[in-house]
Amino acid sequence: MTAAAALKVWCARPSPAPSPRVPDVLSIAASAVHCLLLELETWPKPGLVSHVDAGSHNDMDADMFRVSAAAIAPYLHALADAGAEGREMGRLRIIGLEAEAAMRAATSGVNTHRGAIFGLGLLCAAAGARAAGCVDPGTPLGAVVSRLWGRDIVDGPALLHSHGGRARRRFGAGGARMEAAQGFPSVYEVGLPALRRGVLLAPGDSEAARVEACFALIAALEDTNLLHRGGLQGLQFARSTARSFLDAGGVGMPGWRERARSVHESFTARWLSPGGSADLLAMTLFVSACERPSP
């Protein structure tokens, strides 16, 4: 499947419905792209691009994210295949670089999904390995990533010129690399519990559950995108504001959507964008789809 063919298929899709269970390698990339679109179709998300507005960004919008997701779809499929074939990190890294090139070609150079290519791509490879029987089928995807590729992730080449890399060197944050090497603890310890809590707080409203997870990730994560844009002060503001929303009841409080919209506007006014939390939200949705118990 070429990137052009994927773009035609995915951009023609209607707004996404709830994710299906992921049974095999063939459906892994489709579910991963679906989760990227679900993340896009979530609002309010403080400072982030959605189908409603562009948040703290003047160089990208929802249409660009849809085009980007379509462009990287074949490479997410290739990563799932590589995991199923038992490939090492070097091969995964090559596919990831090809995906990033395809993304930049589709967006005229804008970085829409670099973090998702890394994190969600590794989870696709882990799902492929698990579907092919390379690991026990009951092993959580994060544990598969850590077990098979964790050491190579830590020892791999640094992205010296990325915003996240600069923020890590300046502020000493762990960043996406340590998150992946440790098996995505933010997904399992923060994102998934918040997603389940959101389901209970707002029954029948899947968007509300995604908003709850997004705020929880912002409140917990040492997001290098926030450090890059707002420094330590910006990160502290973002985390404390998100925590206040959750402590007040999150999506279970009356008028929660208006309260979340107000937080979104406060992030936008400060030009803050928690891109790492957005990536982890998509990963949380993907893991939830892959690891949902059979009915």
Other C-beta atoms closer than 10 Å to the C-beta of 108 total: 8
Of residues 10 and 50, more confidently modeled: 50
Q: Quote the CA–CA distance of 189 and 58 in Å, as a whole number.
A: 33
Q: Quick check: 53 pLDDT over 60?
A: yes
**DSSP per position, 107-122:** HTT--SSHHHHHHHHH
- Answer for the pair 167, 228: CB distance below 8 angstroms, yes or no: yes
**pTM, two decimal places:** 0.88
Other C-beta atoms closer than 10 Å to the C-beta of 265 total: 15
Instruction: Compute and round to an integer the Cα radius of gyration of the chain.
Output: 18
- Answer for the pair 254, 45: CB distance below 8 angstroms, yes or no: no
Between the alpha carbon of residue 48 and those of residues 43, 81, 266, 276, 279, the distances in Å are 9, 31, 12, 10, 11
Name the pLDDT band for 174 (thresholds 50, 70, 90).
low
The model's pLDDT over 191-204, given as tens digits with 9 standing for 90+, comes to: 999 999 999 999 99
Q: Quote the CA–CA distance of 249 and 254 in Å, as a whole number.
A: 9
**Confidence at residue 166, expressed as pLDDT on a 0 to 100 scale:** 53
- Answer for the pair 17, 188: CB distance below 8 angstroms, yes or no: no
Q: Quote the CA–CA distance of 19 and 281 in Å, as a whole number.
A: 14
Q: Quick check: 8 pLDDT over 70?
A: no
- Answer for the pair 127, 79: CB distance below 8 angstroms, yes or no: no
**Confidence at residue 115, expressed as pLDDT on a 0 to 100 scale:** 95
Name the pLDDT band for 26 (thresholds 50, 70, 90).
confident
Percent of the chain, pLDDT > 70? 85
Q: Quick check: 39 pLDDT over 90?
A: yes
Name the pLDDT band for 152 (thresholds 50, 70, 90).
very high
**Confidence at residue 293, expressed as pLDDT on a 0 to 100 scale:** 59
The model's pLDDT over 199-241, given as tens digits with 9 standing for 90+, comes to: 999 999 999 999 999 999 999 999 998 998 899 999 999 999 9
**Confidence at residue 214, expressed as pLDDT on a 0 to 100 scale:** 98
- 44 prior amide bond cis, ω within 30: yes
The single-letter DSSP state of residue 58 is: S
Pull the structure tokens for residue 295.
């009915």
Q: Quote the CA–CA distance of 56 and 85 in Å, as a whole number.
A: 40
Mean pLDDT of 71-93: 96
- Answer for the pair 229, 56: CB distance below 8 angstroms, yes or no: yes
Find where tokens 């707004």 sit.
15
Closest-CA residue to 283 (of 50, 90, 123): 123
- Residues 89, 182, 83, 217, Cα dihedral to 10°: -120
Pull the structure tokens for residue 199.
């389901």
